[in-house]
């Protein structure tokens, strides 16, 4: 990106981030954002700022000598401070372009203030760090309640989970083994000069993330983009040919497709969101896979269930998404501590409803992309306590129920439950 393009990029990013700070979804705001800058620049500035949100907020608080600034000006400062620390631009360029961005935002009176605060951040770096040293949100760049919850859950590993949440997410591919072997596809990547390594199963980790248009065979259905943690679902559901299977919260369809790539199934893909179901149908079409796709709330059995018991159910339930916070950095700032109890209530209701549709000796796989025990083991323990015929099994892939995010995969939880005859 040219130096001259940084000012409009900062202005656009400030507009988006200010609305996220007010409670809006980053995904929706990016979809609605004006296209005056390149998509790559907007994604970098918004995601980078929100990954460091606790830090840049604290910096503005420490450096501002005139109280809390206008919301849009404050967002511009957050984005500019991220740009300064990213190392992508010369410091003087960021300061100059941030001042220019004030005009683009029609905040002309803020030019002197923005200039002074950004220069102070450079001049007072050592003392600024010392002043923020005791601020947990500034240090770990997560809300205080989130930090405390992880500290209690993982006394020996909570800092690693937080660090992963601030990192750039890995890019993993799922090879469609109906079309190619993992080995042959890796050879194809090597021929294209794309570094990669096998993680196990159908998962291939790309060394440097790239656009899907650059992924060999993506549009032909040879491969999909899916995190290695998400790929565990197919291995843990204990699938066999011809089974009647439900993916209860299926959109946008990554796990549904993987189930169908694993075995010939009579699969119903269910979701309450019509727009997301459209994406699911496009994914299945790209991969030349077939499923019965239905729009319905999975807890309302009369709306979708014929009454014929199911062999397998995948319940990839709505959750805090705390295990994928680095992919959606706005979530950790939009969530509240009390949300965990609300999610747990909804998750329990989904389990209770779906249990009725499972046949005797059938198996249900509960899945979340959360790292909070309140949504995981606590929900499963409570469910088994109230369902006499429910028995928790070891996972077929031999792994732990809870995967924490790291350099290879996101954070996911799985629990396999069998229904007694």
Catalytic residues, which ones? 369
Here the tokens at position 356 are 């009725």
Tell me which residue has tokens 């369902």: 387
Provide the phi-psi class of 25: left if phi over 0, else alpha when psi is between -120 and 50, else beta. Answer: beta
Can you read off the two tokens belonging to residue 357?
């549709």
What letter would DSSP give residue 89? S
Q: Are the C-beta atoms of 158 and 151 separated by less than 8 Å?
A: yes
In whole angstroms, what is the distance from residue 52 CA to residue 362 CA? 45
CA-CA-CA-CA torsion for 144, 150, 153, 158, nearest 10 degrees? -130
- The CB density around residue 212, as the number of other CB atoms within 10 Å, is 12
Through-space distance between the first and last CA atoms of the chain, rounded to whole angstroms? 63
Q: Where are the beta strands (DSSP E) in 94-190?
A: 171-175
Helices (H), 171-251: 182-191, 232-236
- Relative orientation angle of helices 71-86 and 91-104, to the nearest 10 degrees: 160
DSSP 16-72: HHHHHHTT--HHHHHHHS--SS-HHHHHHHHHHHHHTHHHHHHHHHHH-SSSSPPHH
């Amino acid at each position: 990106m040219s130096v001259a393009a940084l000012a409009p990029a900062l202005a656009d990013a400030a507009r988006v981030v200010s609305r996220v700070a007010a409670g809006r979804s980053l995904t929706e705001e990016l979809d609605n954002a004006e296209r005056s800058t390149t998509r790559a620049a907007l994604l970098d500035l918004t995601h980078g700022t929100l990954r460091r949100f606790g830090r840049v907020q604290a910096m503005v608080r420490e450096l501002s000598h005139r109280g809390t600034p206008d919301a849009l000006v404050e967002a511009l400062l957050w984005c500019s401070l991220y740009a300064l620390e990213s190392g992508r631009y010369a410091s003087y360029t960021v300061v100059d372009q941030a001042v220019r961005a004030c005009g683009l935002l029609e905040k002309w009176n803020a030019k002197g203030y923005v200039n002074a605060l950004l220069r102070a951040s450079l001049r007072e770096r050592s003392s600024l760090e010392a002043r923020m040293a005791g601020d947990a949100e500034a240090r770990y760049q997560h809300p205080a309640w989130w930090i405390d919850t992880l500290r209690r859950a993982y006394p020996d590993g909570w800092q690693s989970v937080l660090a992963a949440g601030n990192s750039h997410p890995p890019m993993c591919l799922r090879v469609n083994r109906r079309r190619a072997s993992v080995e042959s596809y890796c050879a194809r990547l090597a021929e294209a000069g794309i570094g990669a390594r096998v993680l196990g199963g159908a998962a291939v980790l790309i060394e440097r993330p790239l656009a899907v248009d650059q992924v060999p065979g993506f549009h032909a259905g040879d491969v999909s983009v899916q995190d290695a943690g998400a790929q565990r679902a197919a291995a843990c559901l204990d699938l066999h040919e011809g089974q009647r299977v439900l993916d209860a919260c299926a959109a946008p369809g990554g796990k549904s497709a993987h189930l169908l790539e694993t075995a010939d199934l009579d699969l119903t893909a269910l979701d309450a969101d019509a727009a997301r179901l459209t994406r699911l149908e496009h994914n299945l079409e790209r991969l030349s896979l077939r499923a019965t796709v239905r729009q319905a709330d999975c807890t309302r059995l009369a709306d979708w269930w014929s009454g014929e018991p199911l062999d397998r159910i995948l319940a990839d339930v709505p959750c805090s998404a705390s295990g994928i916070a680095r992919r959606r950095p706005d979530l950790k700032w939009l969530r509240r501590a009390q949300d965990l109890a609300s999610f747990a209530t909804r998750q329990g209701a989904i389990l209770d409803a779906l249990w009725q549709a499972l046949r005797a000796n059938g198996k249900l796989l509960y899945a979340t992309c959360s790292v909070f025990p309140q949504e995981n083991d606590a929900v499963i323990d409570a469910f088994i306590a109230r369902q006499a015929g429910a028995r928790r099994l070891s996972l077929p892939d031999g792994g732990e129920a809870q995967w924490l995010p790291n350099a290879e995969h996101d954070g996911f939880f799985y629990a396999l439950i069998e229904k007694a005859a």
